[in-house]
């Protein structure tokens, strides 16, 4: 399950690395502009400041766009967890429409599947472990489907269509959850965002050097804020790589508790 560009790097290290490089680019550009300024009789500080303002505006737009994409995906994953819990709960109730032996096998399979889904949420970030848990949950679904299909063949009944529909919803939610996990902010947007952050730092340093004035507190604070926003954007976009986790998983815990031991 690939996490896209820089997928194997924690968001905190991306943000800290970006901050360090931005501070370095700003300092280099500031000193270079200061040296050039001393050799120019009448430096045009207004043109340099205008360009820096344009870069800042473009960076703000791209930051807002990227943050909106990542936050939207986070909300989508939250909604899918609740939808999955509802689908499993409905299938659990409709298992009662099967014959006693098939109903017990159906409930046992759903209980196992729910435990596997929660194991995925609780597991640390380990691609091999996560892939194994996903494969096991898929096999559990396959077994559940065969149980329902065999029951439908053995004892056809109009009520079985409700069980089949509920089980199909569980399978659909499983596919949607896997697809949502694999969707992230496009690599091209990430590259443009990080590159624009560096360009903004360099142009800001150049503008300040050209004016011969250094904003010792204001610019570093703003650079920290930009890095913090980058961190939150990356953390939103990664389900298991940071501090921001899915709150909606409580619905699955409640469902598991209602199923009994």
- Summarised one tens digit per residue, pLDDT across range 107-147 is 999 999 999 999 888 887 777 888 899 899 999 999 999 98
pLDDT digits over 32-65, tens only? 887 776 665 555 555 556 666 778 888 888 888 8
In a domain, 5, yes or no: no
- Provide the residue range defining the domain that includes 120: 11-259
In a domain, 3, yes or no: no
Classify residue 6: in a domain, yes or no.
no
Query: Which tokens is 46 given?
Result: 């207004």
Residue 1 lies in a domain: no
Q: How far apart are CA 109 and CA 145, in angstroms?
A: 10
| Percent of the chain clearing pLDDT 70 (strictly above) | 90
- Let me know if residue 199 belongs to a domain: yes
Does residue 19 lie within any of the structural domains? yes
- Domain presence at residue 107: yes
* Neighbour count for residue 231 (Cβ, 10 Å): 22
Total structural domains within the chain: 1
Supply the pTM of this predicted model: 0.77
Contacts of 190 (CB under 8 A, 6+ apart): 4, 5, 6, 66
CA distances from 140 to 41, 82, 115 (A): 77, 20, 11
The continuous run of DSSP H or E covering 126 comes out as: none
Q: Please list, in sequence order, all residues whose beta carbon lies within 8 angstroms of the beta carbon of residue 65, skipping any fewer than 6 positions away.
A: 189
């Amino acid at each position: 399950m690939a996490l896209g560009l820089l997928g194997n790097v924690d968001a905190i290290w991306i943000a800290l690395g970006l901050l360090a490089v931005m501070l370095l680019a700003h300092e280099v550009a500031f000193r270079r502009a200061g040296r050039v300024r001393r050799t120019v009789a009448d430096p045009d500080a207004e043109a340099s400041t205008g360009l820096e303002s344009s870069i800042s505006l473009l960076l703000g737009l791209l930051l807002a766009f990227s943050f909106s994409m990542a936050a939207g995906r986070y909300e989508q994953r939250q909604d899918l967890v609740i939808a999955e819990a509802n689908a499993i709960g409905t299938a659990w109730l409709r298992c009662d429409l099967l014959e006693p032996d098939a109903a017990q096998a159906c409930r046992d399979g759903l209980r196992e599947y729910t435990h596997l889904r929660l194991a995925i949420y609780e597991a640390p970030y380990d691609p091999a472990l996560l892939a194994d848990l996903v494969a096991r949950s898929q096999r559990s679904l396959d077994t559940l489907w065969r149980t329902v299909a065999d029951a439908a063949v053995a004892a056809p009944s109009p009520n079985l269509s409700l069980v089949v529909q509920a089980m199909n919803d569980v399978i659909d939610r499983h596919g949607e959850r896997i697809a949502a996990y694999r969707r992230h902010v496009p690599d091209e947007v990430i590259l443009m965002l990080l590159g624009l952050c560096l360009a903004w730092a360099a142009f800001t340093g150049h503008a300040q050097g050209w004016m011969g004035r250094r904003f010792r507190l204001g610019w570093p604070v703003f650079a920290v804020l930009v890095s913090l926003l980058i961190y939150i954007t990356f953390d939103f976009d990664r389900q298991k790589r940071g501090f921001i986790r899915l709150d909606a998983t409580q619905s699955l815990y409640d469902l598991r508790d209602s199923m009994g031991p």
